[in-house]
Amino acid sequence: MSTPTSEASIPLHETPLAGVTTVVDKKAAVILSVMTAGLLLVVAFFPQDGDTTFRLAVPSDFAQLPRVTVPSTLTAWVLIIVCLLCAGWSIVLYRRKLQTPLWLMVIYSLGWMIGFLAWAASGGTIPVVGLLSGSLALAVPLVFGALGGVLGERSGVVNIAIDGQLLAGAFAAAMIGSALNSTWAGLVAAMVAGTLVALILGLFAITYLVDQVIVGVVLNVLVIGLTSFMFTQVLAPNAETLNSPPRFTAVVIPVLGDIPLIGPIFFRQSAVVYLLYIAVAVVTWSLYRTRWGLRVRAVGEHPTAADTVGINVIRTRYRTILIAGAVAGMGGAFYTLVSVPQFNREMTGGAGYIALAAVIFGKWDPIRATLAALLFGFASNLQGVLSVIGSPVPSEFMLMLPYVVTIFAVAGLVGRSRPPAADGIPYRKG
C-alpha cells in the first residue's frame, strides 16, 4: 500500500472503515507557486526605485508607534524569497503527502502582501491603520449581510435576497431616520425593513414552496424597483425632510481605543460597528451553543428528523429568516446612517451578492463568513489606498482586485464546499 493507513480522528472500533489516510490536494502548492510567480514577474519587470513608508500610528494616538521606512524593491525581493521558500516547502509537503499547515499559509500571505505593498506603494506612505480600519468599514454591510445569509441557509432557506434586504434597510433607515431625526429610529426601521423582505421570502419560499432562488432574485429586483421609485417620487422631492438622516459618529471606547494599532482600527468606530462585533459573537454563540441553534441546524440538515422529535420545522425556519432579515437590514442602515447621510438608488451596488459569496466562501460558518467579508473589504480598500498613493497599476485594475481575489479564493481555497444538507429544499409534510 502506497499511503500509510493510520487510525485517525474517528475511533475505528466504531466505524465500518478499513482505515483512514490523509488525502492532500495540490491546490495549496499550486496557488502559492502561481501567486509567487505573479509577484515575481511584476517586481522584475516594473522595478520601483525609492522607499516605502509604513505608518503604524495615527496622529491622535498618544503612544506613537514609529514609521517604518524600507527600500521598496529590495524589500519586495526579500519577501519574494520568503514566498518562494513557503511555496517550495508546501510542494515538498505535498510530495510527502502532507497538508500545507495553516501557519505556513499565514506567513506566506503576510509576506506576499507586505512585499506587494512595498513594491506598489514605492515613494509613498502606507497608512496601515487607515488601510485596515477602512477595510473594516467597507466590510461592515457585507458582514451583516453574510451573517443573515448564514442564518437563513443554516435553517435550510437559501437567501439570495440579501441585497434586497440591505437596500430596503438603507432606504428605511434614511427615510425614518430623517423623519424622526433619530439614528436609532433609523436603525430600527432598517431592521424592520429587512425583516419585511424576509417575510415575503418566507411566504413564497416556505409557505408556498416556490423555488428559493427564484424568490430571492426576484425580490432583489422588486426592492430595487420599489426603492428607486419611492426615491424619485418621495425622497428626492423632499430631500431635507426625508433624505437627510443624522449620522452615527465614531465613538472611542475608553481604554481599548488607546491600544496602539488595535485601538484606532477596531475601537474608534461608530455604534453600528460595535453592534457588528456583538452580532457576530451572538450569532456564532447561539448557532453552536444554544437550544435554538441546535434546532436551527437540525432543521437545515434534516427537517424530517427534526419534525419527528417534535420540532416545528416551518416555524423554526420562519423565525430564523426573520431574525436573519433584521440582521441584514442593520447592514443596510450602515449605508445611510454611517457612510453618507442620504439614500441613493441602488446604492448597495450589489453588495448583497458579495455577501452571498462570503457565505459560501465562509462555508456557512458565521466566523469564516465574517473573515471572507473582511478579506473582500481589505482588497477593495487596498485598491483605494494604492491609487491614492499613485501606484504603478492602472486604477481600473486596482478596482478589479477584490473581485479577482474572490474568484481565486473560491476556486483555489474553498472548492467544493458542503452546504447544510436540506439547504434550499422546501419542507413538505406527508
Please, which of residues 42-101 interact with another protein by CB under 8 A? 60
- Which of 44, 92, 110, 214 is close enough to bind another protein by CB under 8 A? 214
**What amino acid occupies position 152?**
G
- Which of 78, 85, 180, 226 is close enough to bind another protein by CB under 8 A? 226
Min separation Cβ 111 and another protein, Å: 24
**What is the Cα gyration radius of the chain?**
24
DSSP for 83-104 reads HHHHHHHHHHHHHTT-PPPHHH
Q: Would you say 320 and 154 are in contact if contact means Cβ atoms under 8 Å apart? A: yes
Min separation Cβ 119 and another protein, Å: 16
- Which of 111, 115, 127, 177 is close enough to bind another protein by CB under 8 A? 127
Residues 6+ apart with CB under 8 A from 159: 148, 149, 152, 153, 165, 198, 201, 212, 216, 321, 324, 328, 356
- Which of 250, 253, 261, 271 is close enough to bind another protein by CB under 8 A? 250
Q: Is 36 left (phi over 0), alpha (psi -120 to 50) or beta?
A: alpha
Q: How far apart are CA 328 and CA 339, in angstroms?
A: 16
- Which of 111, 115, 134, 177 is close enough to bind another protein by CB under 8 A? 134
Min separation Cβ 85 and another protein, Å: 26
Choices 40-48, 70-78, 83-91, 355-363; region in contact with another protein by CB under 8 A? 355-363
| Nearest in space to 48 (alpha carbons), one of 104, 122, 117 | 122
- Which of 56, 85, 105, 218 is close enough to bind another protein by CB under 8 A? 218
- Which of 115, 124, 177, 186 is close enough to bind another protein by CB under 8 A? 124
Choices 35-43, 178-186, 317-325, 412-420; region in contact with another protein by CB under 8 A? 412-420
Is 254 a binding residue for another protein by CB under 8 A? The answer is no
- Which of 244, 316, 320, 370 is close enough to bind another protein by CB under 8 A? 244
- Which of 26, 229, 238, 262 is close enough to bind another protein by CB under 8 A? 229
| Nearest in space to 331 (alpha carbons), one of 181, 173, 175 | 173
- Which of 35, 80, 104, 138 is close enough to bind another protein by CB under 8 A? 138
β-bridge partners, 10? none
Min separation Cβ 184 and another protein, Å: 18
Q: Would you say 169 and 330 are in contact if contact means Cβ atoms under 8 Å apart? A: yes
Is 246 a binding residue for another protein by CB under 8 A? The answer is no
Min separation Cβ 287 and another protein, Å: 11
- Which of 86, 197, 215, 265 is close enough to bind another protein by CB under 8 A? 215
Judged by CB under 8 A, the chain residues 324 through 353 that form the site for another protein are 334-335, 339-342, 344-347, 349-350, 353
What mask, x for binding another protein by CB under 8 A, covers residues 357 to 396? x-xxx--x---------------xx--xx-xxxx---xxx
Is 316 a binding residue for another protein by CB under 8 A? The answer is no
Helix (H, G, I), strand (E, B) or coil at 52: strand
| Nearest in space to 360 (alpha carbons), one of 106, 102, 146 | 146
- Which of 91, 93, 192, 230 is close enough to bind another protein by CB under 8 A? 230
| Nearest in space to 298 (alpha carbons), one of 155, 147, 150, 158 | 155
Q: Strand 268-269 and strand 251-252: pairing?
A: antiparallel
Is the Cβ of residue 211 or residue 258 nearer to another protein in the bound state? 211
Min separation Cβ 98 and another protein, Å: 12
Residues 6+ apart with CB under 8 A from 312: none
Q: Would you say 160 and 201 are in contact if contact means Cβ atoms under 8 Å apart? A: no
Choices 87-95, 103-111, 176-184, 289-297; region in contact with another protein by CB under 8 A? 289-297
Choices 39-47, 107-115, 272-280, 398-406; region in contact with another protein by CB under 8 A? 398-406
Q: How far apart are CA 245 and CA 267, in angstroms?
A: 24
Q: Would you say 291 and 101 are in contact if contact means Cβ atoms under 8 Å apart? A: no
Is 421 a binding residue for another protein by CB under 8 A? The answer is yes
The rounded Cα 421 to chain-centroid distance in angstroms is 23
Question: 19 vs 7, 95, 153, CA distance in Å?
Answer: 6, 21, 33
Residue count at the site for another protein (CB under 8 A)? 137
Is the Cβ of residue 180 or residue 410 nearer to another protein in the bound state? 410
Choices 87-95, 187-195, 228-236, 253-261; region in contact with another protein by CB under 8 A? 228-236
Q: Would you say 376 and 406 are in contact if contact means Cβ atoms under 8 Å apart? A: yes
- Which of 294, 319, 365, 367 is close enough to bind another protein by CB under 8 A? 294
Nine-digit cell at 23?
488525502
